[in-house]
Amino acid sequence: MTPFPTLFLSLFTLLSTSSPGLVLSQQAGCDPPQRPRPFPRVRPRPPLYPPGLNLLPTQPPNNPGPLANRARILFITQELKRNITYDPFNYTGTWVGNNYCLFKGYYCDTVPDLNITGLASIDFNGARFGGRFLNFYRYSRNLPDIALFHANSNNFSGVINRNINQLRYLYELDLSNNRFLGAFPFYVLGATNLTFVDLRFNRYAGGVPTQLFNIDTDVLFINNNGFANTIPTNFGNTPASYLTLANNNFSGTIPTSIGRAWNTLKEVVFLNNRLTGCLPYEIGFLGQATVFDVGGNLLTGPIPQSFGCLRNLQYLNLAHNQLYGLIPESLCRLPNAYNFTLSYNFFTQVGVQCRRLIRAGTLNVRRNCILGLPDQKSTAECGRFFSRARTCPRENTFSIVTCNISATASLVDARKLEEIAAPPPPRTYAVLEKDHH
Ligand SMILES: *[C@@H]1O[C@H](CO)[C@@H](O)[C@H](O)[C@H]1NC(C)=O
Ligand SMILES: *[C@@H]1O[C@H](CO)[C@@H](O)[C@H](O)[C@H]1NC(C)=O
Ligand SMILES: *[C@@H]1O[C@H](CO)[C@@H](O)[C@H](O)[C@H]1NC(C)=O
Ligand SMILES: *[C@@H]1O[C@H](CO)[C@@H](O)[C@H](O)[C@H]1NC(C)=O
Ligand SMILES: *[C@@H]1O[C@H](CO)[C@@H](O)[C@H](O)[C@H]1NC(C)=O
Ligand SMILES: *[C@@H]1O[C@H](CO)[C@@H](O)[C@H](O)[C@H]1NC(C)=O
Ligand SMILES: *[C@@H]1O[C@H](CO)[C@@H](O)[C@H](O)[C@H]1NC(C)=O
Ligand SMILES: *[C@@H]1O[C@H](CO)[C@@H](O)[C@H](O)[C@H]1NC(C)=O
């Protein structure tokens, strides 16, 4: 494992993908609306160390030379070891002696600013440590050179009660499936070099701070907590590519700022919350998105025509909402459609192209109100739903098309559809499971 060089690489990737100033080419006649400006990067990050800096090569763990922060790391390791009362994979049995590079779960590398070997990475994923109080904050604070901290499925807990930004190299933090509770750990956001934040499967509750969507991170997993209140309106500022808010208690509408993430957002999962209101047409700007999932909410209104612009979309889940109207044919022409689940809504019409997708098993419209299709809701249930007048705010935006549709959509015929190979499984769906695989 070489976390520091990896950091350097991922920074490079980040910087090179954030090309600002791209504007849609204008069409004659009906111009698609201009894409919103992405939120400027908070901090154009400097490389960790100047290229060409001649660092000591990484030393072998059994002969690492002088070790950075040795006394402090040994001390806190023994304290954690005393607190661990259950250790099924016997990590702590190896935590003996003075060379922490040989401890199970500990990985060493050259610390850039010290130019000696130090503790670069902790990997306790799946260690299943038990103990009444495994104090993450106190422990991590005493690992000053750490770049990666992965502790999926353990029993860490405690309040993160001050900035962890003295961990100057920390860029991946995985505290998923532990015992954290209370308010969102605001001070995590102080570690502004984080590119990977995974807090899923804890018992956090309450709102998420606005700042969460301004930090410069690639990955943000906060699913399966008790987060509530509305999603902050600056949501679309996030430069994250992978984002899961699933299985929380968020309410209110999907922020219209979501369109600002058109250049970066690849997978976004709002599954199983209490979101209300109508789908904002700005979702159509998300040309990089392969996964868009708002299943299991209280959304209503029609599907905006702009969804026909989601040219990379493979997985669409709108199931179990109160959406209605006709399913846009342009949606069913999207070239990368793989699993579009629109079941358990109140859609009333599908066209020729959508019927092809249904036959191919790509589009699921079970339990809607579509005349002539099998397995629909009862006439009575549909009647009750439509007996109430239903409207959306910004009614005129539902016909806005956010791209040149004829350039985006390619007619996919039914025969070819059956031959489309399964795309790689989405990253965000994998993290709806507790444990890393
Ligand atoms: C790191 O240490 C090595 C060996 O002492 C030395 O050759 C090299 O110049 C040092 N690099 C920096 C940037 O100090
Ligand atoms: C744990 O690992 C240590 C060091 O490898 C070994 O000496 C000890 O016997 C192991 N304990 C158990 C319970 O397996
Ligand atoms: C895990 O930590 C909690 C406190 O957060 C404690 O109540 C519980 O007993 C611990 N579980 C185990 C298996 O150690
Ligand atoms: C160990 O447990 C003690 C007593 O609960 C606690 O004060 C301390 O913060 C814990 N330390 C670590 C590293 O878990
Ligand atoms: C982030 O990294 C840069 C470059 O190494 C460093 O100057 C800065 O202090 C780091 N940020 C934090 C909050 O530690
Ligand atoms: C979600 O929020 C509602 C009120 O908005 C509350 O009644 C409900 O208990 C919450 N559910 C959970 C699982 O926290
Ligand atoms: C398609 O997506 C739905 C909703 O996300 C899911 O329940 C279903 O298992 C998926 N089907 C396939 C074949 O992947
Ligand atoms: C939209 O794209 C198609 C295919 O590239 C092109 O033929 C057409 O002229 C474009 N329409 C406009 C209005 O630019």
Domain boundaries, the chain: 68-185, 207-432
Residue 90, ligand 2, Cβ within 6 A = yes
Q: How many angstroms separate the alpha carbon of residue 165 from the centre of ligand 3?
A: 27
Residue 131, ligand 3, Cβ within 6 A = yes
Ligand 4 atom closest to 83 (CA): 1
Domain 68-185 has CATH 1.10.8.100: no
Non-local (6+) Cβ contacts of 175 within 8 A are: 136, 149, 151, 156, 198, 199, 202
Q: How far apart are CA 318 and CA 299, in angstroms?
A: 9
Minimal CA–CA distance to 404: which of 308, 262, 261?
308
pTM: 0.88
Ligand 4 proximal residues by C-beta, below 6 Å: 76, 79-80, 83, 133-135, 138-139
Q: How far apart are CA 108 and CA 100, in angstroms?
A: 8
Minimal CA–CA distance to 209: which of 180, 188, 240, 239?
188
- Ligand nearest to the CA of residue 405, numbered in listed order: 8
Residue nearest to atom 10 of ligand 3 (CA): 132
Q: How far apart are CA 317 and CA 347, in angstroms?
A: 14
Count of Cβ atoms closer than 10 Å to residue 295 Cβ: 21
Q: How many angstroms separate the alpha carbon of residue 103 from the centre of ligand 2?
A: 12
Question: Per-residue confidence of the chain (437 residues) as pLDDT tens digits?
Answer: 455 544 433 333 333 333 332 223 333 446 777 887 776 654 444 444 555 667 788 888 899 999 999 999 999 999 999 999 999 999 999 999 999 999 999 999 988 889 999 999 999 999 999 999 999 999 999 999 998 999 999 999 999 877 677 888 888 899 999 999 999 998 888 776 788 999 999 999 999 999 999 988 999 999 999 999 999 999 999 999 999 999 999 999 999 999 999 999 999 999 999 999 999 999 999 999 999 999 999 999 999 999 999 999 999 999 999 999 999 999 999 999 999 999 999 999 999 999 999 999 999 999 999 999 999 999 999 999 999 999 999 999 999 998 877 655 555 554 466 666 778 888 899 999 988 75
Q: How far is CA 298 from the centre of its chain?
A: 21
Minimal CA–CA distance to 105: which of 48, 191, 8, 174?
174
Bridge partners (DSSP) listed for residue 251:
230, 274
Ligand 7 atom closest to 293 (CA): 5
Non-local (6+) Cβ contacts of 217 within 8 A are: 194, 195, 196, 197, 238, 239, 240
Q: How far apart are CA 363 and CA 422, in angstroms?
A: 14
What is the pairing mode between strands 117-123 and 106-110? antiparallel
Mutate to test the pocket of ligand 8, among 24, 404, 410 (most ligand atoms within 8 A of CB): 404
Ligand 8 atom closest to 405 (CA): 1
Q: What is the largest CA-CA distance in the chain?
A: 77
Q: How many angstroms separate the alpha carbon of residue 78 from the centre of ligand 4?
A: 11
Q: How far apart are CA 227 and CA 245, in angstroms?
A: 9
Residue 183, ligand 1, Cβ within 6 A = no
Write down the pLDDT at residue 165: 72
- Ligand nearest to the CA of residue 86, numbered in listed order: 3
Write down the pLDDT at residue 58: 83
Ligand 8 atom closest to 29 (CA): 13
Write down the pLDDT at residue 195: 87
Q: Does 207-432 match 68-185 at the fold level?
A: yes
Write down the pLDDT at residue 411: 53
Which CATH code is given to the segment(s) 207-432?
A: 3.80.10.10
- Contact by Cβ (8 Å): 232, 260: no
Ligand 5 proximal residues by C-beta, below 6 Å: 46, 48, 165, 168, 191-193
Residue 27, ligand 8, Cβ within 6 A = yes
Residue 155, ligand 3, Cβ within 6 A = yes
Ligand 8 atom closest to 404 (CA): 1
Q: How far is CA 32 from the centre of its chain?
A: 28
Count of Cβ atoms closer than 10 Å to residue 78 Cβ: 13
Write down the pLDDT at residue 413: 54
- Ligand nearest to the CA of residue 168, numbered in listed order: 5
Q: How far apart are CA 371 and CA 391, in angstroms?
A: 22
Q: Could you give the angle at the alpha carbon of 11 between the alpha carbons of 5 and 13, nearest 5°?
A: 105
Ligand 5 atom closest to 166 (CA): 14
Residue nearest to atom 12 of ligand 3 (CA): 130
Q: How far apart are CA 156 and CA 152, in angstroms?
A: 9
Q: How many angstroms separate the alpha carbon of residue 115 from the centre of ligand 1?
A: 6
Mutate to test the pocket of ligand 8, among 24, 25, 26, 27 (most ligand atoms within 8 A of CB): 27
Write down the pLDDT at residue 13: 32
Residue 404, ligand 8, Cβ within 6 A = yes
Sheet holding 274-275, edge to edge: 181-182, 203-206, 226-230, 249-252, 274-275
